[in-house]
Amino acid sequence: MTARIAVITVSYDSASVLGSFLDSVPAALPGEPVEISVADNKPDSPHRPEIEAIAAEAGAHYAPMAGNLGYGHAMNAVAAGLPAPIRYLLISNPDVVLHPDALTTMVATLESARDIGAVGPRILELDGSSYPSARSVPSIRNGIGHALFANVWPSNPWSRSYRHEIGEHPERRDAGWLSGACLLVRREAFEQLGGFDTGYFMYFEDVDLGYRLGLAGWRNVYEPAAVVLHTGAHSTSGESAAMLDAHHRSARRFLGKKYSGWWLWPVRTVLSAGLSVRSAFVRSRAADDPGREHPNG
């Protein structure tokens, strides 16, 4: 049987988690072949032989990148070289473990309607809580409110509207965008958009992809019956300041694209100011408590 589904993950010194992710793939789609690729964004790492061995043991293709040009760049590079029969792309971080039948469920949802371009699973954290992985596209109102109040007033209405918090009994629904931590995309839709916008080094490339899918007439669907476990952001630990800077640069890029008209410069100015206030607050709090992690949205 020819594979019609490709699984792509990006490694950045990910040896500690990559094996668990790759081991979870067969049970997530039992009875069907899958083409698996590991894009390596840190091929000069001393751990490269271990990562290559983990990929080989799982039957995955190891694809070293020219350097760390970003998550979206690596995904695009691998997707561009996939064979023609591949119809669906599972885009995932390596620090994820797929639950049994998760990919089977996501494929069934994607195939349930011709206009569905992407499907996102329920992402569980280690404490059993659900990550708000299916959100509204940032707007002027919720963008400013979330940027200003997310850290001092977590339950504020703007953040709740943006995050579209997941209740105890979530249901399948459409969303503005789906988390790129684990996402099944129709290849036709992905290629129609030219893949991820590589102008985002990290963060917001998934927001941008979901937004552009919607503009092109495709639906982003959250499917809570498919479940994955997020085991932790291993590759960015200890780099919180750089992560915060990257997050806010990407947020400015996205909002600048969405509100690009010259007459909207006051909107861009206000949004940028809100992000700067949030950045200053988070940095100040981190200085008081060095062990605290910076939020990513």
pTM above 0.85, yes or no: no
Q: Distance (Å, rounded) from C-alpha 251 to C-alpha 272? A: 9
- pLDDT tens for the chain, 297 residues: list them: 789 999 999 999 999 999 999 999 999 999 999 999 999 999 999 999 999 999 999 999 999 999 888 899 999 999 999 999 999 999 999 999 999 999 999 999 999 999 999 999 999 999 999 988 998 887 655 555 555 555 555 555 544 554 554 555 579 999 999 999 999 999 999 999 999 998 887 777 999 999 999 999 999 999 999 999 999 754 444 445 566 666 666 666 667 676 666 555 565 565 665 555 555 555 555 455 544 343 334
Residue 37 sits at φ, ψ, to 5 deg, of -130, 140
Written as one letter, the residue type at 9 is T
Q: Distance (Å, rounded) from C-alpha 16 to C-alpha 42? A: 14
| In the chain, where the domains are located | 5-233, 240-288
Helix ranges, the chain (H): 15-28, 48-57, 71-80, 102-110, 140-149, 157-163, 187-192, 205-215, 240-258, 265-288
CATH topology for 5-233 is Spore Coat Polysaccharide Biosynthesis Protein SpsA; Chain A (3.90.550)
* Residue appearing with tokens 């690009």: 260
Give whole-number Cα distances, 250 to 31, 113, 131, 260, 285, in Å. 40, 32, 20, 15, 22
Residues in CB range of 141: below 8 A, 6 or more apart: 158, 161
Written as one letter, the residue type at 131 is Y
Predicted local confidence at residue 67, as pLDDT = 84
C-alpha distance across the termini of the chain, in Å:
41
Give whole-number Cα distances, 21 to 2, 26, 149, 189, 201, in Å. 22, 10, 35, 25, 23
Predicted local confidence at residue 200, as pLDDT = 81
